[in-house]
Structures are given as structure tokens and as C-alpha cells.
A = this chain, B = another copy of it.
Amino acid sequence: MCLSGTLEEKLAAIAAAGFDGFELFEPDLVTSWLSPADVRSRAADLGLSIELYQPFRDFEQVDDDQLRANVHRLRRKLDLMAELGVSTLLMCSNVDTAVDDSDARAVDQLGIAAREAADRGISIAYEALAWGRSVSTVDHAWALVRQVDHPALGVCVDSFHILSRGTDPAVLDDIPGEKILFCQLADAPRLQLDVLNWSRHHRVFPGEGDWDLADFVARVIAIGYRGPLSLEVFNDTFRQTSPERTAMDAYRSLVATEGAAFERLGSTSGELPPDRAQRMGFIELAPDSDGRLKAALDALGFERHGAHRRKAVDLYESGNARLIVNRAEAGPRARIRALGFEVEDVAAATDRALALGCEVLPRDHADGEAILNAVSAPNGAEIYFAPRAESGFDWAAEFTLTNDGPQVFHEVDHVVMEQSWQRIDEAKLFYESILGLSVQASSDVPGPDGLVRSLALKGPGGIRVALNVRPLEAAGRPGFADHIALGTDDVLRLAERLADSGVATLPVPDNYYADLDARFRLEPERLERFRRFGILYDRDDSGEFLQLFTAPIDDVVIEIVQRDRDYLGYGAANAPIRLAAQRLLASGGVASAA
């Protein structure tokens, strides 16, 4: 149920992603024209084992009539499992037909189930659903299993059902590993939602939610569990998007979670190369063919810029801010093409990405040039691993550079890129697991075309990457753009420079400045200068933040920011102004009342 498609399509995607096996979810079988024997041979052909059949519901704590019907149903399913060649059945705690809360009745009836299963060489993994009528906790399920004391009966542990109740996973320490017959993993965002809907619609792969699944896995391994680690993730998005992509995302999640778990256990099995991003190295832009992007960059006056000795590539450099303009990729629309992150060891970072299911992209490279490997991010941007300047790598070496002016920027403050709703969870895992970034904030920005969901990630060395998901109905609509924010100490000076150069900046409504005045009571002269240049302002208890945006150059906005060191945000309160202004320009409007 993690994947969309038919059973055939799911199996193909699971095998292609590199998994060892799968749980067979009954509805996938019931809606399939593959016979059980077909499924068995299809799995074998793909090199996949069927680790579990599930779910068997509402068996225990029932009255005698219902028990007879349940035993009939169980026998039929055990026969089916024999045809499939599956040796573990997942039995969920009763949510519907239980007649009382009696442990004695549950123990009796689970014993019957265990003996029926044992007769056919099958084991039952009993799982407490978080919304089970009487049995809803893993310790309760384990207490019943211990009382039944039958070799064909153990428990299934599912991170969702344990963590969603706020249960301390230390509860697992009381269960002998060999009595855990199966381990299912799911992460989830922290939502205050009823647990059934939370479970059925909002599970995500480990690393994509808010829980610590590495800790969960480490505990399960520590108590001796040696069975499969399986992903059981009900998610409305995964259910409708490409099963191949989702399976790869799932594989990455499991490898990353396992790696982190082994790391916590101090074990070297399953360890991943630790190298991750240390600092933003560069942003690569594909310019428009008309030279509008280059004109805007030239107007900003970078300290140094120049051409690559061999390729049609320009470098703009100021402090640690580096923009690379790849003229060979020039097209009708300027766009962000790649992000370069400095890593300690390019080879190790590449190995980490490979272990996590990435493919290294082909790259034109000559002897004597720095080795930079790239992989593809979920939104299609290329992500480069670049050597650190401290490692002796010299940016200047491959470029013929000229001095162009005083230092205007000190760093890339942040980058904002669009991300499709289909892959935002995958993107979070990608940046976290491959680059070592972590989520700083998630917010909804109201714009004229709807809410833009924004996920801000941060890393060491001041790395800040935000991913914006546009409203569904705005697909293909103009008025959205990626942006690159360059940090400066003097936005006003640059604003004047831009004004002189004729580079268009985003229009800002006068009403915004009236509101700023009401909210922050700024000095009138300062407010007037902000208004004149279209500078946006924010303040919190830690300091001030000033922003100036160029008008979009196709799909790219250049933002100039001046940040008090302790101000940690991105001027979220101003984001609706940016969206409104982009919409205005995209619809051919001008910055005055119509």
C-alpha cells in the first residue's frame, strides 16, 4: 500500500528499487488477476521474497458464532498463504467484533489461531492497532502473546502504532527479540489529528516525518530482532504517484534509517559514508539567450568575474558567494540549474549518495580540473559535491578572472526552489539524508493564487535551502519563480546601484509601507528610503532583516538581503508581497492602481 498501480506494477517497482522482499497486502491480491501461484512465481522471478501476508482482522475476543466464522476465514487464508509460500501472517487486534475486553478470551482465541497456523507451518505476528478496541498497545499485545506461549505466535511491532500514541519505544526492551516476528516502520508528521486518519493518510517514509525512526530501529536490533525491516506507509500522495519513484524513495529511507541505527549502536554494518554538505559552494544558473540575467548580475557588481578557461561558463564571485552562469545551457528562460555544496571529501560524499540510491550524473571534466560529482535532486536540479577551498581547491584556477569592484556580497544567504507537491516528502529526505540538512521551518505563504507551502532546510556553514510547493491550481501559471538570496551589509547602497543601472526591481505597494509604519514605527526618513527602493523589512527580538528583489528574470529572482546575525528567518511576513508583485508583473500589470 506504499505504492500506486497494480500488483504487477508494484512488484516490478519494488524489485527495481533494490528491496529484498515485500509484504503482500490482501487488497492488492484480491484486486489482481494474478493467481496466488502466479504471484509466487512472479516474486521468485524478480528475486523478491514474500515476507508477510496481511492483514487478518478482528479474530480475537469474539463470541462463539463469530469465532467459528473467523476460524473458517483463517483456514482459507492459511491455505492461500500455503499457495503463496508465505510463512508469516499479520493479525491485527480487533477493532470491530470484540464482545468484551477479556484478556482470558483473547488468550484462548489467539491460542486457537496459533495452533491452526502451526498446523500449516505458519506463524502469526499479532499487532496492536493504536485504535484497537481492547488491545491498542504493544505491551498489551506482548502480554497476551506471552500468556498464549505458543511458538507460532509472536508480535508485530509497528513504529506508527507505538509512536502515534506517544508511547516510549523503551517499552520494546521488555520483549525478547525472537518473539518479534515482524517489524514495520513508518514515520509521520506531528499532527493533532485523530489517529485513524493520521495513520491512513499521512504516514511517510522514515526520515520524512517528525519521529526518530533510527532510534526505533536501533532498539529493535538491540533486543535481538533479526527479521525484515519493512515499510508500511499509507500515504495519499504515494498512492497516486509513480511507483518506481516512490519505491526508490522508500529504499533510500530504509537504507538511511538502517545506517543511522547502526551508527547509534556503534556497529559498522550498514554504515554509510558520513560525508555531507559543509557550506554552499556555488549556484549554477542557466541564463536566458537574451542576456537579461547576465545584465542583472553585471549590474550588481561582483568583486570578481570571468570566463572558464575551457567551457562556456562564467563565474561571479564576491566573498563566499559564487554564481556560475553556464552559457552552454542558455535557453529561452533563465533558471537555476544546479547547487554546489562543499564537502570534506567529494569521493566519500558521492559514495554516500550512491548508497542511498542516487545515480551520478555524467559531467564534462578535463585533466587538472577539480572533480565535482553531481546527482539529481527531486525537482531536477543538479546537486554538486564540490571540494572545500581549505582543501587547496582554488576556484580561480579554472577561470580567467577580472577585478570588477569592491566586495558587495559575503555569501549566498539562501536559495528558494520550486518543488512539486508529489515529491516534497522525497525532497525532505533527499536533502536530509544525502546532504545532512535539517528542517528549520514549514509554513504556508498566502498568495493571490492560493497557499504556497514552504519548507525551509538549513545546514552547517549557513546553508539555507527553501522548497516551495505552489498551489495545485497554479500549475503552469506565471507569477512563481525560484530565487537566489545574496547576503550583503548594505542593501541601500546596492538598491541605489540597481536603480542607476536600470535593472527592474519588484514593485511594492504603498499600503505595505503604511502597515510597516503602524507595526514598527520606523524613522520616517528610513521608511521613505525603503519605500523609494522597494525594500522590504522585518524585525524580531534578535534583529532586523532587509530584502530587495529584482523583478523575475524568467524563472529567477535575485534577492539581496541584509541580515542581523541573530535574525534566523527569511522575512516570511513579506513573502505575500513578493507573490503579489510577481503575479502583478506576470499578468502584465504595472505598479500603480489600475
Q: Which residues of A contact B (CB under 8 A)?
A: 1, 4-6, 8-9, 26-27, 29-36, 38, 69, 72-73, 76-77, 80, 191-194, 197, 200, 236, 239-241, 422, 444, 446, 448-451, 471-474, 507, 509-512, 514-515, 517-519, 521, 576-577, 579-580, 583-584, 589, 591-594
A32 touches B580 (CB 8 A): yes
B residues within 8 A CB of A200?
444
Residues of the B chain whose Cβ atoms lie less than 8 Å from the Cβ of A514: 76, 80
CA distance A240 to B448 in the complex (A): 8
CB–CB A519/B73 < 8 A: yes
Q: Which residue of B lies closest to A26 (CB)?
A: B515
Nearest-neighbour CB distance to chain B for A20, whole angstroms, equals 24
Q: Which residues of B sit under 8 angstroms from A241, Cβ to Cβ?
A: 473
Which listed residue (B239, B515, B579) contacts A450, Cβ 8 A? B239
Docked-complex contact B34 and A593, CB < 8 angstroms? yes
A4 with B449: CB separation less than 8 A? yes
Whether the Cβ atoms of A240 and B30 lie closer than 8 Å is: no
Q: Identify which of B31, B193, B511, B518 contacts A193 (C-beta below 8 A).
A: B193
Q: How far does the alpha carbon of A69 sit from the alpha carbon of B520 in the complex, in Å?
A: 8
Partner of A4, one of B38, B76, B80, B448: B448
Which residues of chain B have C-beta atoms less than 8 A from A33's C-beta? 507, 509-511, 584, 589, 591-594
In the complex, what's the smallest C-beta–C-beta distance from A86 to chain B, in angstroms? 14
Q: A446-B27, A591-B33 are in contact. Are A72 and B239 (CB under 8 A)?
A: no
- B509 adjacent to A30 (CB under 8 Å): yes
- Chain B residue nearest in CB terms to A191: B193
From known contacts A422-B473, A450-B4, A593-B38, infer whether A509 and B76 are also in contact, taking CB-CB under 8 Å: no
Contact between A510 and B6, CB atoms less than 8 A apart: no
Distance to closest chain B CB from A307 (angstroms): 41
A5 to B73, CA, bound (A): 56
Q: Tell me which residues across on chain B come within 8 A of A471, comparing CB atoms.
A: 236, 239-240
In this complex, what residue of B is CB-closest to A474?
B240
